[in-house]
Chains A and B, each alone.
Chain A
Amino acid sequence: MVRSIAAIWILLLLPPCCVRSQDMKLNASASPNVMRVGEQFNLTFTSDQEVTELELPSMDAMEILGGPSEGHSQSVYSVNGKITTSSTYQYTYFLRVLKEGKFTIPSVTAKIKNKACRSNPVNIEVVAAQNQPSRSNPSSSEAGQAQNSKVNERDVFVSLLLDKKEVYLGEQIMATVKIYTKVNLSGVDRSFKGPDFTGFFTEPVEVPPLRNLQHEAVNGEIYYTGILRKILIIPQKTGELIIQPFDLDVAVRQEVHRRIADPFFDNFDIPDVQEIPLKLKSKAVRIEVKHLPANAPSSFSGAVGSFGFKSSLNKTKTKTNDPLTLKLTISGRGNIKLINELNLNVPADFEKFDPVINTHEDNSLSGTKSFEYLLVPKNAGTYTIPPVEFTYFDPASNQFKTLKSQAYSVQVEKGQGDSLMAVVPGINKEDVKLINQDIRFIKTKPSRLWHNRSFWADSPVYYLSYGLLLAIFLIFTGIYRKAVRSKADVAGIRLRKADRYAQKRLKKSAGLLKQGESGLFYEELLGAIWGYLSDKLNIPLSVLSQETARTALLARSVDDGLMDSLFRVTGECEMERYAQVSGNLGMEKVYQEALDVITALQQELR
């Protein structure tokens, strides 16, 4: 503690030049800077160093009454343990103006620590002198002047000043509510409603509380002026917009001389101060708002003014799930507060969070707006963050200007955090994300064009094709059957005929049996058997005998028993045919035997 106090003392003892960085500046200012002819004013040069060889040039419009009177002040600040000292040297000249007009006091050369430096030029305005003797104290002079006379609107008025009267839609205008007075004001209604800015976006601007009124010459008269309110207005619609007059309540201090009737002495005037309430009314103001040109680029979102656009990315190499910060900064003059979110398209593998928007105003007209996007890469790889476009309308050059940020290439490596997820395979998989919805592309493959919605299925050709197929089928079937027929031997057909033939003859013989015609019966029966054999064995009747039949049957491996019974039946029939030994009974038996034999043969010769 003791040591630190000692340090402070050492610091205080050091010459100020060693503590402060040196900026050799010589400031000149005139106070007041507006005055009447014959009035005097102070011209003050200020510096934080001692100034030598300061000399005023001689000017024919004014005379130097005195000076310079020197003043020196030093201050030591201790802020959070940090000590700074500053000293101020003031050199004041007293001058009197002799002529009417606007003058510039040229810059003055002087030396600070043996180095030449120049002051800034100072402008002053001088108006014609009034009839009344001018006094340096405004309050007493005005009070005296306004004595008993009614305060009119030339003495005090309020007006709305705009820095531009013809603007583009969205271009900002600085509106200033200023009070002008020649009389002493005792009070101004600070909470007045103010002008009604319908059709504008408004943004109040901080103004210091009204303390000192400035001098200002208006139409050759000196007024004391003060800024009551400053509002930034941005038109929201086009056309002629009129800001309607507004009211302001003020109180004017007026000295009134009251005549008191004194019973003992003469009547005499007692100066008295009275406050007179006054309602001031401003004038209506016209603003012409123009449309923006029609050819606005798609990235235009209403910014009007002149801007700069910067971008920065905190790193270009990262790991998955390790966020990146992309900062986009717009700075400049214009309706910076109304700038919406920028259109940032990040690759689909990045997660984009809503930006953190910071608006910083250097002063009411210009400022900086920054958008900080937090981007979280989800997958490893090399990605490109495309440039972001920012378009604004420049009213000075009447055209849209597009600024592009830088494109960044980002390398994303596989992060540590992913190893946990990788334990369960498949959990890392993602659905393909649809970024935008659009229709699918046209079909470029040439296709067969139909004419007049006519279908092949309607043409006679189509139906004829069925007939054609059927015809081909029938032809093939016919050819096939014919071929089969020609290939198959007649025996086959006889074979099939045999049964029928035999049955027919057997039936006939059965009829003859009933009639008792024994001769015919045996003949028929024999015919049936031989006919059957002839058909079945494919031997013509002419060559058919017991021997030929026996060999043919043997070739078909018909057993001997059956063969014996066959030939026994035929022998019996031959015998009975001529001998006619037995009667009806014998015929019945032979018939039955013949039937059995043929049935048995039928089985064998199948």
Chain B
Amino acid sequence: MIMRRSSGIRVAFACLLSVFILLPSAEATNSALADSLVAAGNKHYMNREFGLAATCYSRVIELGYESSSLLYNLGNACYKQDNMPRAILYYEKARLLDPGDEDIRQNLAIANSRIVDKIDNIPSFFLRRWINGVAGGLSPDQWALLSLILFALSLCALFIYIGSRKYTMKKIGFTTGILLFLFSITSLLLTQNRKQVIRHSRGAIVMTQVVNVKSSPDEQGTSVFALHEGTRVLMVDSVQQWKEVKIPDGNKGWVPDSVLAGI
């Protein structure tokens, strides 16, 4: 029995090694390039060469790398070039990755104050807001790590329960073990939630100066209302080249997907 277990551990170790050592080495060159591009972008930004800075940051994203601060910096560079819709797009992307960041929220608010459409965000239900606030505090990987640590701690507590002879220690070990296990499960759920939110964001930004929102997904449809660049919408449905969008006041309509950029 013990022999079989140890072989399992060996397999797990092998997997660990392959992921942590072999995979990064394959992407090491690209990653170094991305890091140097970020540094170059920051330098350009400090020299007030915002166009060049934006190009550097965009290259990094083209390479497939991103981080909340990179997206935030790119948003800043776009803002300085007076490209509000792009600035808002990148701020929103940055906020998606790091909802708790004060700077991102502040700059997004400033950028939003400079676009045509006034956005009234209806405050959501407090419990939902609260959960989102807690979930947004950490990145999915951080939540995952937390869950793992809590799981390990709960096992430790259970070990105390099993190993101890004293009744009080047993009691403490059992309750803490169960509680920590529940917390670990919660963290795991939050990990999944955050991953889902980041991967399947339905938010989008209007990128063209003005777009007429149609009542049906075709050019002949009646124009219901107009949206201007930089406005955030929610993509609800899609039919071929058309997307059904919803704005915060509850109105819905169809726009061609070329005018939108997904967050």
Residue ranges of A at the interface with B (Cβ–Cβ < 8 Å): 437-453, 455-462, 464-478, 480
Name which residue of chain B comes closest to A477, CB basis.
B162
In the complex, what distance in Å separates the CA atom of A471 from the CA atom of B155? Answer: 10
User: What are 29 of the A-B contact pairs (CB < 8 Å)?
Assistant: A437-B110, A438-B110, A440-B76, A442-B45, A442-B72, A442-B77, A443-B73, A445-B69, A446-B38, A446-B39, A447-B67, A447-B68, A447-B70, A449-B31, A449-B35, A449-B60, A453-B66, A453-B198, A455-B140, A456-B141, A457-B141, A457-B143, A457-B191, A458-B195, A469-B152, A471-B5, A473-B158, A475-B2, A477-B162
- Are A455 and B144 closer than 8 Å at their CB atoms? yes
- Are B42 and A444 closer than 8 Å at their CB atoms? yes
- Are B103 and A443 closer than 8 Å at their CB atoms? yes
- Are A466 and B162 closer than 8 Å at their CB atoms? no
From residue A121, how far is it (CB to closest CB) to chain B in Å? Answer: 61
- A477 / chain B contacts, CB cutoff of 8 Å: 159, 162-163
Interface residues of B in 104-155 (CB under 8 A from A): 106-107, 110-111, 140-141, 143-145, 148, 151-152, 155
- Are A449 and B191 closer than 8 Å at their CB atoms? no
- B179 interface residue per 8 A CB criterion: no
- B19 interface residue per 8 A CB criterion: yes
- B225 interface residue per 8 A CB criterion: no
- A470 / chain B contacts, CB cutoff of 8 Å: 155
Given contacts A444-B42, A451-B65, A455-B141, 16 further A-B contacts (CB under 8 A): A439-B106, A440-B106, A441-B76, A442-B45, A442-B76, A446-B38, A447-B67, A450-B67, A455-B140, A457-B143, A470-B155, A474-B5, A475-B2, A475-B5, A477-B159, A478-B1
- A480 / chain B contacts, CB cutoff of 8 Å: 159, 162-163
From residue A487, how far is it (CB to closest CB) to chain B in Å? Answer: 12
- A460 / chain B contacts, CB cutoff of 8 Å: 15, 19
Interface residues of B in 56-102 (CB under 8 A from A): 60, 64-70, 72-73, 76-77, 79-80
- Residue among B38, B66, B144 making CB contact with A456, cutoff 8 Å: B144
**Number of residues from B at the complex interface, CB < 8 A:** 54
- B210 interface residue per 8 A CB criterion: no
- B70 / chain A contacts, CB cutoff of 8 Å: 447, 449
- Are A447 and B69 closer than 8 Å at their CB atoms? yes
- A447 / chain B contacts, CB cutoff of 8 Å: 67-70
In the complex, what distance in Å separates the CA atom of A469 from the CA atom of B154? Answer: 10
From residue B170, how far is it (CB to closest CB) to chain A in Å? Answer: 14
- B260 interface residue per 8 A CB criterion: no
Residue ranges of B at the interface with A (Cβ–Cβ < 8 Å): 1-2, 5, 8-9, 12, 15-16, 19-20, 27, 31, 34-35, 38-39, 42, 45, 60, 64-70, 72-73, 76-77, 79-80, 103, 106-107, 110-111, 140-141, 143-145, 148, 151-152, 155, 158-159, 162-163, 191, 195, 198-199
- B65 / chain A contacts, CB cutoff of 8 Å: 449-451
Name which residue of chain A comes closest to B102, CB basis.
A440
- B1 / chain A contacts, CB cutoff of 8 Å: 478
From residue B45, how far is it (CB to closest CB) to chain A in Å? Answer: 5
Name which residue of chain B comes closest to A476, CB basis.
B159
- Are B66 and A449 closer than 8 Å at their CB atoms? yes
In the complex, what distance in Å separates the CA atom of A481 from the CA atom of B162? Answer: 9
- Are B35 and A471 closer than 8 Å at their CB atoms? no
- A440 / chain B contacts, CB cutoff of 8 Å: 76, 103, 106-107
In the complex, what distance in Å separates the CA atom of A460 from the CA atom of B12? Answer: 10
- B9 / chain A contacts, CB cutoff of 8 Å: 468, 471
A461 and B16 in contact (CB under 8 A), knowing A442-B42, A455-B140, A475-B2?
yes
- Are A439 and B5 closer than 8 Å at their CB atoms? no
- Are B151 and A469 closer than 8 Å at their CB atoms? yes
In the complex, what distance in Å separates the CA atom of A459 from the CA atom of B64? Answer: 18
From residue B103, how far is it (CB to closest CB) to chain A in Å? Answer: 5
- Are A471 and B8 closer than 8 Å at their CB atoms? yes
A451 and B162 in contact (CB under 8 A), knowing A457-B195, A468-B12, A478-B2?
no
- Are B72 and A448 closer than 8 Å at their CB atoms? no
Name which residue of chain B comes closest to A461, CB basis.
B19
From residue A484, how far is it (CB to closest CB) to chain B in Å? Answer: 9
Q: Most B CB atoms within 10 A — which of A450, A464, A477, A478?
A: A450
- A466 / chain B contacts, CB cutoff of 8 Å: 148, 151
- In the A-B complex, list the 10 residue pairs whose CB atoms are closest, starting with the nearest: A457-B144, A443-B69, A449-B65, A442-B73, A473-B155, A439-B107, A447-B67, A447-B69, A456-B141, A440-B103
From residue A527, how far is it (CB to closest CB) to chain B in Å? Answer: 34
- Residue among A451, A464, A473 making CB contact with B16, cutoff 8 Å: A464
From residue A250, how far is it (CB to closest CB) to chain B in Å? Answer: 59
- Residue among A458, A467, A474 making CB contact with B12, cutoff 8 Å: A467
- Are A453 and B199 closer than 8 Å at their CB atoms? yes
- A457 / chain B contacts, CB cutoff of 8 Å: 140-141, 143-144, 191, 195
- Residue among A443, A445, A451, A478 making CB contact with B64, cutoff 8 Å: A451
- A472 / chain B contacts, CB cutoff of 8 Å: 155
In the complex, what distance in Å separates the CA atom of A452 from the CA atom of B1? Answer: 41
- B199 / chain A contacts, CB cutoff of 8 Å: 453
Name which residue of chain A comes closest to B57, CB basis.
A442
In the complex, what distance in Å separates the CA atom of A450 from the CA atom of B66? Answer: 5
A469 and B111 in contact (CB under 8 A), knowing A448-B67, A477-B162?
no
From residue A480, how far is it (CB to closest CB) to chain B in Å? Answer: 6
From residue B34, how far is it (CB to closest CB) to chain A in Å? Answer: 5
